[in-house]
């Protein structure tokens, strides 16, 4: 593979993976306008975000087996087509309830890009290069939160929030063309994989029995749900509490997204000297410390707008270190059922993201505390699971070695 081919493949895979981030972030500046236009409240509009995250979670469980059974591209095309139709339906909805339903369907279609992108990385690149490939992929994904809310803010101000969904449909149509022209086919269809419920569930269970997958999927999935709490609460915090405009909110969101971009580049360098396990351990410790400072300082009213932005920047920097390493370690044990593993991983992450965004909505009290408290809970829980899980795996490995040595002596 030439350097040019490598760049194009990463770019297209990144574009596929950005469909959902764009769908999540681009309409955030329009929340107040949606509240007014659909005659509803901010908690109901936040549920449209929750519906999208739940849709991604459900959809990924469907696409994993489909990508393994029918190859990578055909299920991908079907999902993207569903996404385009649902996006246009969102643009022309006239009630918050129909918006919530259409966002769910939109997510079920769009998540095909997320699962296919992760699966194709594992197909195309060797195991010892997947963490670096995921870092580059995360870099492309991380650019989207810089662009999406800013563009969404200007679109909402100029043409209304409906225009955001029309643009999303158009962008996805262009990505479909890129997939057709530039992406390799990846792993060939496997007719031995059944789509009947029992074999599909058996595949998922076999994936979950892999200790390394289970540890890093759980710890990473819970910890990486923290940004979804931030996403769910940030528009209300900055636009209703700190009274910034749609455009200013877009620039704040872009600045905070830059935290992930810088750390993905740093991760690419760090991996030349440290193992992914070491990076994850360090990241969760420092995120926990920062999260506690956020909660305590918010409770006592220490922070203004800019100090809050600064601490959020430091916290979100960890996502660029955590996400690619947790993904690489979760998928590393698999050569078969990679699509199912990637789907299960992504589904759990989005389910946790949906729960955390819903928690922010339920706990809404016109302060910043619900957002930062949920973020802190994610970091602390992820760290506890990681430390306990690593210790358990080491204990079991040592016990197996002792049993093997004993059997040899006997």
Single pTM value for the model: 0.68
pLDDT at 406: 58
- Residue among 335, 57, 366 at smallest CA distance from 190: 335
Quote the pLDDT of residue 186: 65
For residues 193 and 268, give the distance between their C-alpha atoms in angstroms, rounded to a whole number: 35
> What is the pLDDT, as a whole number, of residue 104?
93
**CA distances (Å), 126 to each of 98, 187, 332, 400, in order?**
44, 13, 10, 29
Positive/negative CA dihedral, 387, 391, 393, 394: positive
Question: Which CATH architecture fits 8-183+209-405?
Answer: Up-down Bundle (1.20)
Residue 373 contacts residue 295 (beta carbons within 8 Å): yes
**pLDDT tens-digit map of 97-147:** 999 999 999 999 988 888 788 777 777 766 666 666 766 676 666 666 667
Residues of the chain with pLDDT under 50: 409
Q: Please give the structure tokens belonging to residue 410.
A: 């006997």
Helix (H) or strand (E) holding 77: helix 73-91
pLDDT attached to residue 138: 65
Contact 51, 101 (CB under 8 A): yes
- Report the C-alpha gap between 237 and 127 in whole angstroms: 42
Quote the tokens at residue 222.
């819970």
- Note the pLDDT of residue 371: 87
pLDDT for the residue 15: 82
């Amino acid at each position: 593979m030439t350097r040019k081919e490598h760049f194009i493949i990463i770019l297209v895979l990144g574009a596929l993976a950005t469909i959902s981030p764009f769908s999540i972030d681009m309409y955030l500046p329009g929340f107040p306008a949606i509240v007014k236009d659909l005659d509803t409240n901010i908690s109901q509009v936040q549920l449209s975000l929750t519906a999208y995250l739940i849709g991604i979670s459900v959809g990924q469980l469907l696409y994993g087996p489909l990508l393994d059974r029918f190859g990578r591209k055909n299920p991908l095309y079907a999902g993207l087509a569903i996404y385009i139709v649902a996006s246009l339906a969102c643009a022309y909805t006239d009630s918050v309830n129909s918006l919530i339903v259409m966002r769910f369907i939109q997510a079920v279609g769009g998540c095909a890009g997320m699962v296919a992108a992760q699966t194709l990385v594992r197909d195309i690149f060797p195991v010892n290069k997947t963490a670096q490939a995921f870092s580059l992929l995360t870099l492309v994904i991380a650019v989207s939160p810089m662009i999406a809310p800013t563009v969404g803010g200007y679109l909402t101000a100029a043409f209304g929030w409906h225009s955001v969904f029309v643009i999303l449909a158009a962008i996805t149509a262009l990505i479909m063309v890129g997939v057709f022209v530039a992406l390799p086919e990846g792993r060939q269809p496997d007719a031995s994989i059944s789509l009947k419920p029992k074999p599909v569930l058996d595949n998922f269970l076999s994936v979950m029995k892999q200790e390394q997958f289970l540890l890093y999927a759980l710890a990473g999935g819970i910890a990486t749900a923290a940004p979804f709490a931030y996403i769910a609460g940030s528009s209300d915090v900055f636009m209703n509490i700190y009274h910034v405009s749609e455009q200013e909110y877009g620039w704040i969101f872009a600045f905070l997204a830059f935290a992930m971009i810088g750390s993905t580049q740093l991760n690419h360098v760090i991996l030349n000297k440290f193992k992914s396990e070491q990076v994850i351990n360090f990241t969760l410790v420092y995120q926990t410390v920062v999260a506690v400072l956020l909660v305590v300082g918010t409770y006592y009213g220490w922070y203004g707008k800019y100090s809050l932005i600064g601490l959020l920047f430091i916290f979100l920097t960890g996502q660029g270190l955590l996400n690619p390493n947790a993904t690489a370690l979760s998928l590393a044990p698999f050569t078969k059922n990679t699509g199912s593993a990637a789907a299960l991983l992504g589904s759990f992450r989005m389910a946790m993201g949906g729960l955390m965004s819903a928690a922010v909505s339920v706990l809404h009290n016109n302060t910043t505390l619900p957002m930062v408290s949920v973020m802190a809970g994610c970091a602390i829980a992820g760290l506890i699971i990681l430390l306990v899980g690593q210790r358990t795996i080491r204990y079991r490995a040592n016990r197996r070695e002792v049993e093997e040595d004993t059997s040899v002596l006997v």
